[in-house]
Amino acid sequence: MERRNFLRASAGIGLGALLGAGLSACGTRGGSGSASLTMSQYGSSSRLELLEQVFEAYAGSYPDRMVRLDAASVDNYIDRLATQVSGGNAPDVMGIFHNAIAQFARQNALLELDDHIGQALDTSEFTDGLVDLGRIGGAVSALSFGDNAHGVIYDVGLLESIGKSVPEPGYTWEDLLSFSADISRAVDGDFYGTEDRSSQLDQGFKVWLLQRGKYAFTADGELGFDSTDLTDWIEYWEMLREEGAAPPADVTAEAGGTFDSSALIRGYAANHQTYANAMSSMQALTESPLALTTLPIDPSGTGSGHFLRGSNWVGVFSRTDEPEAAVEFLDFMFNDPQAVEILGAELGAPPNRALRDTLDYSPAEQQFIDYVNLITDELADEAITLDQEFPAAWNDVNTAFGTATEDVRFGRADVSESVEQFFTTAEQALRAGS
């Protein structure tokens, strides 16, 4: 695949014309009557400010409506929301992490949206399959603010300084090893061609598995991979560390879970493997140009291993006093030209594809949009629902996965011991959580 196609710019009509047409056609609206809603959301101050602008636009279109923001930090957001749900005083509209949607749906905390879709809630312009990702127990329990996918963000400035360029989609895991080792050798000091993300079950490992025709979990809530898959994964990353392509354990341990604490931004690795929608936020943290590419492929495998993911999810509290107004507000955020323009790519590639193609983006945002379009339209394998991706024991299995990979990294156990311990712990957790 040629890079000029990968990075091609979207063509489209000017938003101004569409926006003007949209507003003149809509004017003010009555909806299902007056209502005062609360929406909870996590994230940066700039994201929250954009939501406040959407609320103002909503009030302009619905003079008898208002929305109040209930903001919380990422660190305690889900625990706080769970407490509100238990107390029956959760916000009418709730932004929720993708790995917590199933948890809240299983607790009957989310309004089922099926009866509203095609009525007050228009999803006709969404990417095929996006709505079904939020189907928990057979019902659509939440919707994504946009398309997303796994990816790798590279420091282009660093690569160019040593005569390298960003790997083209279609490079292999073996290519990543040699490419990263070359970078490590070319840069003075403690610098590495790739960060070590072997402990992240929800990142590259899922792509690795899907290239083998497997998901992390089966539809019945059991592990979808075996000891050979995990052994191969751990041994691959061990090989990268031994070749000097990836950092040693103590260096990786210094990296945190935030963008600004990533190995790329802290200046000791050339890349960051993450969700593609991180592109704009990470570019804001460095003056060196960044670029997106795919994860490697297995030339003997099946497909790219990449799949459509939702980015930042939103649902309606099942016990809200204003279900109709809450659903109409969701529709406004997804389909009103002004609201879509305000949010841009902040929460993901806008799910309304017709409006997505009309927006003006920053260069970093445009890379993200082009990348997501490439994955969803050309490279994606079949996605599965959040219900299957995140079984009830997800947190325990994820912790066991991290422990197994870190024990090998720090030399606390050999590969076979770590793999055996993972399967013992994970299978026990899944049985207890079922």
DSSP, res 297? B
Least confident of 3-17, 47-61, 161-175, 261-275: 3-17
Do 308 and 128 touch, CB atoms closer than 8 A?
Answer: no
Whole-number average pLDDT of the chain: 91
Alpha-carbon gap, residue 91 to 85, rounded angstroms: 8
Do 329 and 67 touch, CB atoms closer than 8 A?
Answer: yes
CA dihedral 335, 337, 341, 345 (to 10 degrees): 30
Q: Per-residue b/e over 170-197, b at no fewer than 16 CB within 10 Å?
A: ebbbeebbebbbebbeebeeebbbbbbb
pLDDT of 18 higher than 50:
no
Q: What is the pLDDT of residues 398-410, one digit of tens each?
A: 999 999 999 999 9
Alpha-carbon gap, residue 8 to 374, rounded angstroms: 10
295 pLDDT tier (thresholds 50, 70, 90): very high
pLDDT for 30: 59
Structure tokens at 378: 């050309």
Helix, strand or coil, per DSSP, at residue 250: helix
**What phi, psi does 245 have (nearest 5°)?**
-80, -30
The dihedral region occupied by 348, where left means phi > 0, alpha psi between -120 and 50, and beta the remainder, is: left
- 265's CB contacts (< 8 A; 6+ apart) are 259, 272, 282, 285, 286
pLDDT of 121 higher than 60:
yes
Alpha-carbon gap, residue 69 to 408, rounded angstroms: 44
Mean pLDDT of 115-119: 97
- 41's CB contacts (< 8 A; 6+ apart) are 47, 48, 51, 69, 70, 71, 72, 95
pLDDT for 264: 95
12 pLDDT tier (thresholds 50, 70, 90): very low
pLDDT for 7: 31
pLDDT for 32: 67
pLDDT of 209 higher than 90:
yes
Alpha-carbon gap, residue 150 to 305, rounded angstroms: 9
Q: In sequence order, what are the beta bridge partners of 356? A: none
Q: What is the pLDDT of residues 310-334, one digit of tens each?
A: 999 999 999 999 999 999 999 999 9
pTM for the whole thing?
0.89
pLDDT of 214 higher than 80:
yes
Mean pLDDT of 151-163: 97
Q: CB-hemisphere CA count at 13 Å for 370?
A: 21
Question: What is the set of domains in the chain, with CATH numbers?
Answer: 35-146+310-380 (3.40.190.10), 149-307+387-433 (3.40.190.10)
Distances (CA, A) of 203 to 70, 151, 274, 411: 29, 9, 7, 23
pLDDT of 187 higher than 70:
yes
- Of the chain, the percentage scoring pLDDT greater than 70 comes to 92
Q: What is the DSSP string of 170-225?
A: T-BHHHHHHHHHHHHHHS-SS-BSS---TT-TTTHHHHHHHTTT--SB-TTSSB-S
Q: What is the pLDDT of residues 362-391, one digit of tens each?
A: 999 999 999 999 999 999 999 999 999 999
Q: Which of 8-22, 157-171, 250-264 is most confident?
A: 157-171
pLDDT of 4 higher than 90:
no
Between these two residues, 43 and 148, which has the higher pLDDT value? 148
Query: Residue for token digits 């009509």?
Result: 13
Do 356 and 13 touch, CB atoms closer than 8 A?
Answer: no
Q: What is the pLDDT of residues 43-100, one digit of tens each?
A: 889 999 999 999 999 999 999 999 999 999 888 999 999 999 999 999 999 999 999 9
pLDDT for 410: 97
List the one residue out of 163, 159, 133 whose CA is nearest residue 145: 133
pLDDT of 22 higher than 60:
no
pLDDT for 258: 80
pLDDT for 11: 30
Alpha-carbon gap, residue 13 to 17, rounded angstroms: 8
